[in-house]
């Protein structure tokens, strides 16, 4: 019995050694594959983060350009109001000049008619 137990233990350890080595190699290969996949996922994460940063920069630029357009629109509106005021004043000045020219012509005719030859 002792001999059979010893033989079985020896046989078991003889068979178990190569099995354990092959299992270790298989586990190591599987771990390597997992690490490679993990690195791929990490690379994908890096690409995704870079893409998000790019999109954020694009949105920031668009916001800046939109604010510049809004500022220009506000300036244009203010300029329009100023130009309308200038136009009103110029029109008023033109009307006054026309009135003064008519008065001058009328006074000139009156003086010419009152002066004896």
- Report the percent of the chain where pLDDT is more than 90: 38
pTM of the model: 0.43
Residues 6-15: pLDDT tens digits?
Answer: 777 777 777 7
DSSP state of 115: S
Tokens at 70, concatenated: 């809004």
Residues 27-49: pLDDT tens digits?
Answer: 888 888 887 777 677 777 888 89
* H-type alpha helices, the chain: 2-114
Average pLDDT of the residues in 17-34: 78
Distances (CA, A) of 101 to 90, 91, 94, 96: 16, 15, 10, 9
d(CA 19, CA 11): 12
In degrees, rounded to 5, the angle at the alpha carbon of residue 95 between the alpha carbons of residues 89 and 100 is: 125
């Amino acid at each position: 019995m002792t001999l059979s137990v010893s033989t079985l233990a020896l046989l078991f350890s003889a068979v178990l050694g190569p099995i354990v080595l092959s299992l270790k190699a298989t586990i190591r290969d599987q771990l390597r594959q997992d690490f490679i996949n993990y690195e791929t996922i990490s690379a994908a994460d890096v690409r995704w983060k870079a893409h998000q940063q790019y999109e954020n920069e694009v949105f920031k630029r668009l916001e800046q350009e939109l604010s510049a357009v809004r500022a220009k629109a506000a300036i244009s509106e203010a300029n329009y109001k100023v130009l309308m005021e200038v136009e009103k004043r110029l029109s008023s000045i033109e009307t006054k000049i026309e009135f003064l020219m008519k008065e001058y012509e009328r006074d000139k005719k009156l003086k010419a008619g009152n002066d004896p030859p």
